[in-house]
Structure 1
Amino acid sequence: MGDPLRDDSWLVGKGITLSVLQNPLRTRLEVTGEEVFLAPPHWHLHHGEEHTVLKGRVKLMQNGVTKILTPADGTVYTPPRMTHSLESFPGEEFSMDEVATPSAETTAQKIIFFRNLFAPGVLQSFFSAMQVFYFGDGYPVFPFGIRWIEWLFVVVVGGWLAPLLGYKLPDKRLRLDPNRFPPSKKD
Structure 2
Amino acid sequence: MGDPLQDDSWLIGKGLTMSILQNPLRTHLEVTGEEVFLAPPHWHLYHGEQHVVLKGRVKLTQNGVTRILTPADGTVYTPPGMVHSLESFPGEELSLDEVAKPSAETTAQKIIFFRNMFAPGVLQSLLSTMQVFYFGDGYPEFPFGIRWIEWAFVVVVGGWLAPLLGYQLPDKRLRLDPNRFPPSKKD
Partners in 2 of 1:152 and 1:11 — Cα distance? 31
Counterpart in 2 of 1:64? 64
Unaligned residue ranges in structure 1 (runs of 5+): none
- Cα distance, 1:120 vs. partner? 0.3
Instruction: Give the aligned CA root-mean-square deviation in angstroms.
Output: 0.4
SS at 1:28's partner residue?
Answer: strand
- 1:148 to partner: Cα distance: 0.5
In the TM superposition, 1:20-169 aligns within 5 A as 20-169=20-169
Structure 1 runs (4+) deviating above 2 angstroms are none
Percent same amino acid among aligned pairs?
A: 88
Distance 2:10 2:4 in 1: 6
What's the secondary structure of 1:72's corresponding residue?
helix
Q: Secondary structure at the match of 1:172?
A: coil
- 1:112 maps to a residue whose letter is I
**By how many angstroms is 1:144 displaced?**
1.2
Question: What are the Cα deviations for residues 75-112 of structure 1, in whole angstroms up to 9, with x where unaligned?
Answer: 00000000000000000000000000000000000000
TM-superposed CA distance for 1:2, in Å, is 1.9
Partner of 1:17: 17
TM-score between the two structures when normalised by the length of structure 1: 0.99
**Any idea what SS the aligned residue of 2:81 has?**
coil
Query: In 1, Cα distance between the equivalents of 2:21 and 2:131?
Result: 26
Aligned length: 187
The superposition leaves residues 96-132 of structure 1 with CA deviations (integer Å, 9 ceiling, x where unpaired) of 0000000000000000000000000000011000000
Q: Aligned to 1:175, what secondary structure does the other structure show?
A: coil
Residue 176 of structure 1 pairs with residue 172 of structure 2: no
Q: Distance in 1 between matches of 2:104 and 2:2?
A: 25
Counterpart residue type for residue 16 of structure 2: I
**Secondary structure at 1:160 match in 2:** helix
Q: Letter of the aligned partner of 1:162 in structure 2?
A: A
Q: Following the alignment from structure 1 to structure 2, what is the Cα–Cα distance between the partners of residues 29 and 61?
A: 18
User: Which whole-Å CA distance do the structure 2 matches of 1:74 and 1:99 have between them?
Assistant: 13
Question: Structure 2-normalised TM-score?
Answer: 0.99
Q: Give the Cα–Cα distance (whole angstroms) in 1 for the partners of residues 184 and 95 of structure 2.
A: 37
- Mapped partners of 2:70, 2:40: distance in 1: 20
CA–CA distance in structure 2, aligned partners of residues 118 and 155 of structure 1: 20
1:132 is paired with a residue whose SS is helix
Give the aligned residue type for 2:24: P
Q: Aligned partner of 2:36: which letter?
A: V
CA distance in 2, matches of 1:181, 1:167: 19
Displacement of 1:30 in angstroms is 0.4
| Structure-1 separation of matches of 2:83 and 2:129 | 19
CA distance in 2, matches of 1:142, 1:127: 16
